[in-house]
Amino acid sequence: MQDAALEREPEDEARLPAPVARRGQQLAAPDPRMQALATLMRGMEGEGGEEKQFSLVEYWHVLVKRKWTVIGLFVIAALTGFMMTMLSTPLYQATATIQIDRPIEPAVGQSMNTEQGYFDFRFYETQFQLLRSRSMSEKVAARFDPDDPVFAIMAEPSPFNRLMNLLTGAAEQPQQEVSIEQKRSRLAGLVRGGMTIDPVKDSRLVRIHFISPDPRLSASVANAIAESFIQTNMDRRVDNSSYARDFLEDRLEQVRVKLEDSERALAQYAQREQIAVGNNESLLSQDLAALNAALTQAKQERIDAETRLRQVQGMGALAHPMLLQNEGVQALRSTRGKLEAEYQEKRLTYKEGYPLMQQLRSQIEQIDVQLEREVKIVREGLQAAFDGARQKEAMLEEQVKSVASQVLDVQARRASVTVLEREVETNRQLYDALLQRYKEIGISATTEANNVSIVDQALPPGGPFSPNLFRNLMMAMVVGLVIGVALAFLFEYLDDTLKRPEEIEKHLGIGVLGVIPKLDGSSVEEALEDARSAFSEAYRSVRTSLQFSTEQGVPKVLLVTSSSSAEGKSTTAVTLARNLAQLGKRVLLIDGDLRNPSLHRSLGSDNAVGLSNYLAGGIKPAAAIRPTKQLRLTFIPSGPLPPNPAELLAGPKMMSLLSLAGEKFDQVIIDGPPVMGLADAPILANLADGTLLVVEAGVTRIAMAKATLKRLMGARAHVVGALLTKFDARVAGYGYGGDYSAYHYYSYGGADTTRRLGRS
């Protein structure tokens, strides 16, 4: 009945049957879910450059997935560390401890210019660098025999360098004759290389370590370094004192000669100019000062004499103080007063012509004459005193002017003397200071103690310091673990394939309808024959998911496709067709891959006539149908490979075939070609009611899957979901007991159940 129905072709292939018309209505009015998915795809395109973000669980999944990388590098690093430790020459470390104090201040004179503080970092860093200096290593090397075989062992290349030379093909240089200087220089380099300076924190102690293959040599060299440093420090102090003394001696001699020359020049100039040297004030200056004082006094005397003289001239002679103080004048005045009183008294009795009256008048006149004479004498004395004072003042002024000119002349000539005296004084002070410093250095050189001392001498160590097997293994394992983890995450970052279902949902935005486990050793046919195997159960789970993928159940016409070939789409198409047939549905399986068909081999059918013949118009649909061993499952092979598959699939015959098959069969499944690079799959996706995208775990790249989904959406395909095939939970990063068991639920009740129950 089905064959007869397919033999009838529609009268007008251009007229669309009912299913195709409904499909056209769906294309005309797109599903809102498709619009949302298209919007999601556009959003994902903008997130193409987004970096991968990991959670802690994903970190663990990555480590589980890349565990062999981590374990391999861990083992390689541990073995390498073990081999290097075993091949290394045992080394012994001896330690000498010294104490370095700041320099002691001299006993006399100024203290040394050192920074104040409990710890002078600059000073101690200088001492550490002196310990590491080349000259110190050369002094230590001079104490030992350069032909000591231990030094020859130290000069040999390390096992690692030998291995690198062996790998790089670098041949060892032939032994050549070397001079004793070259041997000493090489030995000094070995001393510097084996020496380590270790300052003790918060103290003035310094540990000097030396490492060599011989314990006694290590102790000897460590002690030699300490002793050489102490001796060098003392020698440096002595050398500095000797240099300072020699320098001061030269400077003292120079300053002494200069002082003698300046004193000689001063004496000659003073003698030539007749100038006294050494007096702060000359004789002329003293004379000038004395004359100035006398002139001042003479001026005052002249002023006083002039004042007294004017007083005599301006007032009555008898009223002058000098006359008032004169006893003779006072006696005459008293006598005259008495005579005048007597004369006036007699006048009342006698007339003026009376002899007694004339006698009294005559006596009064004589007394007046005497008084006049006394006044004249006083006046002449005052005049003489004034004239003498004026002459004295004039004489002193002339002397002052004369001495002042002489002083100015001497001062003009003494300017050069002052310069010479200052030069002599400066040279004398410099000479005294240098002489004092010279004496201080001589005293300090004999009283100063060394500021470096040995606290503990180095002793031969009891055991080797290196190699330390435990430490080397720990370091090697840590390094190997770190590198292994870093490489694991690097490989994971570079791996841009889809490995887990959640990655498909995250990057593609579509649901995962099922996860098909990877087969270990068995073929697909063997796995499908066992109905209780995880492989079979997984496809039955996909069948169930498809029944809930749309409101109508499994899409009437379902296209199974993938991004590229060999991802499991043909196996998926055959298995889903069989599972749907087992439910009692009439299923038509079409091999729509007209470029690389494979279903005829899986179903044991020939491919001489098939879909390509019908699409080319050579046969009717019934002639392309092939029966299968599965009840209610019918198969149309692809037929001969046509030169133009895309044109045949895009023609009206393919649409007509799907319309007729939709009327007569409950389910039509098309095994389509890959999407990328071909136009066939988008054409079939547009004709089908639903498209199932098959993704191979760990193979399909994210960018390719996005491009595939974008092409399908561009063809207005209804992608019902994705199917993850060849999934290995351990490779995908799921460890035992956790999420790994979540993807093994398909084996529940099978052979694995007994083993798990026995372990539980």
Q: 147 vs 76, which has greater pLDDT?
A: 76
pLDDT for res 475 = 92
Which tens digit of pLDDT belongs to each residue from 76-116?
999 988 888 887 778 889 999 999 888 755 443 444 444 44
Residue 695 confidence (pLDDT) above 90: yes
Strands of the sheet containing 587-591, edge to edge, are 512-517, 719-727, 690-696, 557-562, 667-671, 587-591, 633-636, 626-627
Task: Yes or no: say if 558 and 573 are a contact pair by the CB < 8 Å rule.
Answer: no
Q: How many CA atoms lie within 13 A of 603 on its CB side?
A: 29
| Token pair belonging to 696 | 């191979």
Q: 449 vs 422, which has greater pLDDT?
A: 422
pLDDT for res 562 = 93
Q: Is 716 left (phi over 0), alpha (psi -120 to 50) or beta?
A: left
Which tens digit of pLDDT belongs to each residue from 427-476?
888 888 888 877 777 666 555 557 888 889 989 888 888 788 888 889 98
Alpha-carbon gap, residue 261 to 255, rounded angstroms: 10
pLDDT for res 675 = 92
Quickly state the pLDDT bin for 575 (edges 50, 70, 90): very high
Alpha-carbon gap, residue 124 to 121, rounded angstroms: 5
End-to-end C-alpha distance for the chain, whole angstroms: 55
Helices marked H in 520-563: 524-529, 534-547
Q: Is 258 left (phi over 0), alpha (psi -120 to 50) or beta?
A: alpha
- At residue 639's C-alpha, the angle toward residues 634 and 644, to 5°, is 130
The helix (H) or strand (E) run that includes residue 694 is strand 690-696
Quickly state the pLDDT bin for 117 (edges 50, 70, 90): very low
Sign of the Cα pseudo-torsion (430, 431, 434, 435, in order)? negative
pLDDT for res 386 = 80
Quickly state the pLDDT bin for 739 (edges 50, 70, 90): very low
pLDDT for res 10 = 41
Quickly state the pLDDT bin for 742 (edges 50, 70, 90): very low
DSSP letter assigned to residue 466: B
pLDDT for res 348 = 78
Residue 556 confidence (pLDDT) above 90: yes
Quickly state the pLDDT bin for 552 (edges 50, 70, 90): confident
Residue 163 confidence (pLDDT) above 50: yes
Alpha-carbon gap, residue 241 to 729, rounded angstroms: 84
- Write b or e for each residue in 341-359: b if 16 or more Cβ atoms lie within 10 A of its Cβ, otherwise e: eebeebeeeeeeeeeebee
Task: Yes or no: say if 654 and 648 are a contact pair by the CB < 8 Å rule.
Answer: yes
Sign of the Cα pseudo-torsion (406, 407, 409, 413, in order)? positive
Task: Yes or no: say if 403 and 287 are a contact pair by the CB < 8 Å rule.
Answer: yes
pLDDT for res 286 = 75
Alpha-carbon gap, residue 437 to 443, rounded angstroms: 10
Task: Yes or no: say if 652 and 14 are a contact pair by the CB < 8 Å rule.
Answer: yes
Which tens digit of pLDDT belongs to each residue from 210-225?
988 888 888 988 999 9
Look up the CATH superfamily of 29-62+496-751. P-loop containing nucleotide triphosphate hydrolases (3.40.50.300)
- 629-655 mean pLDDT: 91
pLDDT for res 573 = 93
Helices marked H in 448-468: none
Short-list 458, 455, 442, 457, CA closest to 101: 455
Which tens digit of pLDDT belongs to each residue from 584-624?
999 999 999 999 998 988 888 888 899 999 999 888 988 89
Which tens digit of pLDDT belongs to each residue from 15-36?
333 333 444 444 334 454 444 4
pLDDT for res 257 = 85
Average pLDDT, the chain: 77
Residue 532 confidence (pLDDT) above 90: no
- 148-168 mean pLDDT: 65
pLDDT for res 558 = 95
pLDDT for res 477 = 92
Q: 437 vs 7, which has greater pLDDT?
A: 437
Which tens digit of pLDDT belongs to each residue from 372-403?
777 777 777 777 888 888 888 788 888 888 77
Quickly state the pLDDT bin for 47 (edges 50, 70, 90): very low
Which tens digit of pLDDT belongs to each residue from 274-308?
666 555 445 667 777 887 888 788 888 888 777 77
Residue 170 confidence (pLDDT) above 70: no
pLDDT for res 141 = 84
Q: Which of 151-160, 232-241, 301-310, 685-694 has the lowest mean pLDDT?
A: 151-160
- At residue 645's C-alpha, the angle toward residues 639 and 648, to 5°, is 90
Per-residue HEC secondary structure of 128-189 comes to HHHHCCHHHHHHHHCCCCCCCHHHHHHHCCCHHHHHHHHHHCCCCCCCCCCCHHHHHHHHHH
pLDDT for res 437 = 79
Q: Which of 41-45, 226-230, 356-360, 539-543 has the lowest mean pLDDT?
A: 41-45
Which tens digit of pLDDT belongs to each residue from 254-264?
888 888 888 78
| Token pair belonging to 320 | 């002058």
pLDDT for res 307 = 76
Short-list 95, 132, 92, 126, CA closest to 208: 95
Residue 757 confidence (pLDDT) above 50: no
Short-list 642, 717, 671, 684, CA closest to 567: 671
Provide φ and ψ at 724, rounded to 5°.
Answer: -95, 115
Which tens digit of pLDDT belongs to each residue from 239-254?
767 767 777 778 888 8
Q: Which of 216-220, 409-413, 555-559, 680-684 has the lowest mean pLDDT?
A: 409-413
Range with the largest mean pLDDT of 290-299, 401-410, 575-584: 575-584
Alpha-carbon gap, residue 554 to 545, rounded angstroms: 9
Q: 759 vs 458, which has greater pLDDT?
A: 458
Q: Is the peptide bond before 19 cis (omega within 30 degrees of 0)?
A: no
Task: Yes or no: say if 487 and 479 are a contact pair by the CB < 8 Å rule.
Answer: no
pLDDT for res 209 = 93
pLDDT for res 449 = 59
Q: What whole-number percentage of the chain has pLDDT above 90?
A: 23
